[in-house]
Amino acid sequence: MAVERTLSIIKPDAVEKNHIGAVLALIEAAGLEIKAMRMVHLSRPQAEGFYAVHRERPFFGELVEFMTRGPVVISCLEGEGAIAKYRGVMGATDPAKAEDGTIRKLYGSNIGENACHGSDAPETAAFEVGYFFPGYELG
Ligand code: ATP
Ligand code: MG
């Protein structure tokens, strides 16, 4: 399997509850390497641009409101099959359906406030990593 990069966001709900360290520990325990990391309070245009693929979904307004209500921790993760591996560490979108031990099961509240984001495919990972990290920060 190829070495991949994927974008992780620890969402405002998990940051508010002091779970940054716990989430990063699960990421590292899974063998994913943190290549770059920033803590940012996203502006509305930044969040809308990041989630542009969801513009037509009924929850778009709610999602942008949530993602801009407080700081998030954004990181670029790297490893063998990192995209699928991190999706596994996160668990299902709805925390109630997520497997035991996953970030969303442990720290998510509901389908909207679900603690973390991870890219879902190589194309979206490339867009999302580039959206937050210029090439010179990643090496
Ligand atoms: P993410 O893209 O954040 O990793 P995901 O790929 O599991 O999550 P998507 O379908 O891409 O899920 O939805 C993006 C985000 O939009 C979800 O993580 C969640 O925060 C929010 N969301 C998804 N479905 C709903 C919904 N039915 N109601 C409210 N918010 C939702
Ligand atoms: Mg998604």
Q: For residue 39, is it within any domain?
A: yes
* Residues around the ion ligand 2 (C-beta < 5 A): 120
How many structural domains are present in the chain?
Answer: 1
- Residue 62 falls inside a structural domain: yes
Kindly state whether residue 139 falls inside one of the protein's structural domains: no
Residue 138, in any domain of the structure: no
Residue 69 pLDDT exceeds 80: yes
Res. 116 pLDDT band, cuts 50 70 90: very high
In which domain, by residue range, is 98 found? 3-132
Tokens representing 11 are 């969402």
Q: Which residues contact 119 (CB under 8 A, 6 or more apart)?
A: 6, 7, 83, 86, 125, 128, 129
In the predicted model, is pLDDT for residue 89 greater than 80? yes
| CA angle centred on 103, ends 84 and 136, rounded to 5° | 60
Q: Which residues of 57-67 are buried (b: 16+ CB within 10 A; e: fewer)?
A: eeeeeebbebb
Q: pLDDT, tens digit, for every residue of 120-139?
A: 999 999 999 999 999 888 87
Cβ contact 90:10 at 8 Å: no
pLDDT at 1: 80
| CATH code of 25's domain | 3.30.70.141
Residues at CB less than 6 angstroms from ligand 1: 54, 59, 62-63, 93, 111-112, 114, 117-118, 120
For atom 22 of ligand 1, the residue with the nearest CA is 112
State the distance from the centre of ligand 2 to the C-alpha of 51, rounded, in angstroms.
Answer: 9
Q: Is 93 a domain residue?
A: yes
**Cβ atoms of 115 and 13 closer than 8 Å:** yes
Segment 8-61, tens digit of pLDDT: 999 999 999 999 999 999 999 999 999 999 999 999 999 999 999 999 999 999
Which residue numbers are catalytic? 117
Tally Cβ neighbours within 10 Å of residue 91: 23
CA of 139 to the centre of ligand 1 (A): 30
Instruction: Output the pTM of the full model.
Output: 0.97
